[in-house]
Structure 1
Amino acid sequence: MTDFRQRYSFLASPTWIGWFAVCILFMVVCYFLGQWQWDRRDAALDEIGTIQANYDQDPISYSEARDIFASADEDDEWKSVELVGEYLAQDHLFARNRANSGQVGYEQVVPFREASTGDVVIISRGWLAPGSEDGSLPASEP
């Protein structure tokens, strides 16, 4: 029995106790980081469920959804809204330095005049790759 105590007595040294405490602390930190990741996953799944539920719904008219643009609730997020009118293409703008798949380009935004109300809504028409060496112009202007 004394041979056993002598052989493992180094485990009671301050260095070994300190490293054991560090390992326990690391274990606790890993547990809480795992819970944090799990909560992020749950939030992402809730968001995906909201998108999928609203994706299959019939779009509502702009006149019904007009107030949503001013002050939206969480339930209104990802609702499809149908706009009828015309693009004001001559007033389009390019937002510079917008990233897409690791490349910097432009986001094209175009005003849209709704026919029934006359309201103007800004529509993002999508990302455009740069067309010049210095990136000062988009590759195309659709």
Structure 2
Amino acid sequence: MYRFLLTPRWLGYLALTLAAAAVMVLLGDWQLHRYQQRAAINGRIDASATAAPVPVDRVLPPAGTAAGSAGAEPPADAEWTRVTVTGEYDPANLILIRGRTVDGQVGFEVLTPLRTAGGHAVLVDRGWIPPAPGAATVLPQVPATPSGAVTVLARVRRSESRPDTVQHRGGRLESRRISVPRLAAELPYPVYGGYLLLDEQTPAADPAFVAIPVEHQNDWQNAGYVVQWWLFAGMALFGYGWAARREARGGPTAAGPDADRVPAVAAGP
């Protein structure tokens, strides 16, 4: 009844179905991996909100010794760790990160190197400020940088992907992306490989700064894609089985297309 499955046409259908189902399963596995990654990030973000801070040296690798060098990037599982560090801001090497949106308005994030007693520096994202009147790219009025010793409570961040060039404009460094190695190359001291997203500082930060919102990853979107691709794989296999069963029940038999007809009774003796 199912011998037709061994014909070249049906073997081709089977190969195509299995290949399509395998690709869909692999795509589902990839989305599952992305879901697990994003869920882990969300877990670290949630945990960092209440975790006790640790000294920055316990989380970020050593910054090295050469001026303009950056330390190794912190591991992925160290991102969002809450840390504390004390040092002095270096307003002469303040860095503006342009094209950043907060509450629907485009402005700048302000990164300022915090120099520690050991001679190293860590980049601190102090917050967001709007541009000066005129356009989104007009250089902003940056609030005064605290002088003297500053204690920072912040969360560790890794460099952003797709690093951009670093420009000099208005006596300040400016970039579109936060790439610690590229920014460190413009500074006269070694820099830790990750940067810090400010939560609190002593003395208090200027109220003109807007805190950078911490956005959770959309891990449920990836979970939905996992279900979608695996359902498609199952549907492809089901479709092949359904087509084969339909062919077996309704297709021509081995005796030919007229085998099911009732033979006519011959007239006469």
Shorter-normalised TM-score: what interval? 0.5 to 0.7
Task: Determine the structure 2 residue equivalent to 1:6.
Answer: none
Contact 1:109-1:124 within 8 A present in 2 as well: yes
Structure 2: 5+ residue stretches without partners: 63-71, 144-269
| Per-residue CA distance 1:15-63 (angstroms, 9 max, x = gap) | x66455433322221111111111221222233333434442221245x
Q: CA RMSD in A?
A: 3.9
Structure 1: 5+ residue stretches without partners: 2-8
Q: Map 1:1-20 to 2 at 5 A.
A: 14=9, 18-19=12-13
* Aligned CA distance change for structure 1 residues 129 and 19 (closer, same or farther; 3 Å): farther
Give the 4+ runs in structure 1 shifted more than 6 A. Answer: 101-104
The question of 1:68 aligning with 2:60 is answered yes
* Aligned CA distance change for structure 1 residues 74 and 20 (closer, same or farther; 3 Å): closer
The question of 1:43 aligning with 2:37 is answered yes
- Paired residues in the alignment total 128
Q: 1:23 aligns with which of 5, 10, 17?
A: 17
The question of 1:56 aligning with 2:57 is answered no
More displaced 10-residue stretch of structure 1: 33-42 or 18-27: 18-27
CA distance in 2, matches of 1:104, 1:22: 50
Q: 1:106 aligns with which of 105, 108, 119?
A: 108
How many Å apart are 1:124 and its aligned residue?
Answer: 1.6
- Max Rg structure: 2
SS in 2 for 1:141: coil
Q: Report the TM-score when normalising by structure 2.
A: 0.36
* Aligned CA distance change for structure 1 residues 66 and 35 (closer, same or farther; 3 Å): closer
Contact 1:128-1:138 within 8 A present in 2 as well: no
Task: Determine the structure 2 residue equivalent to 1:141.
Answer: 142
How many Å apart are 1:139 and its aligned residue?
Answer: 4.9
CA distance in 2, matches of 1:106, 1:55: 24
* Aligned CA distance change for structure 1 residues 17 and 100 (closer, same or farther; 3 Å): farther
Identical columns (%): 29
**Higher fraction of helix:** 1
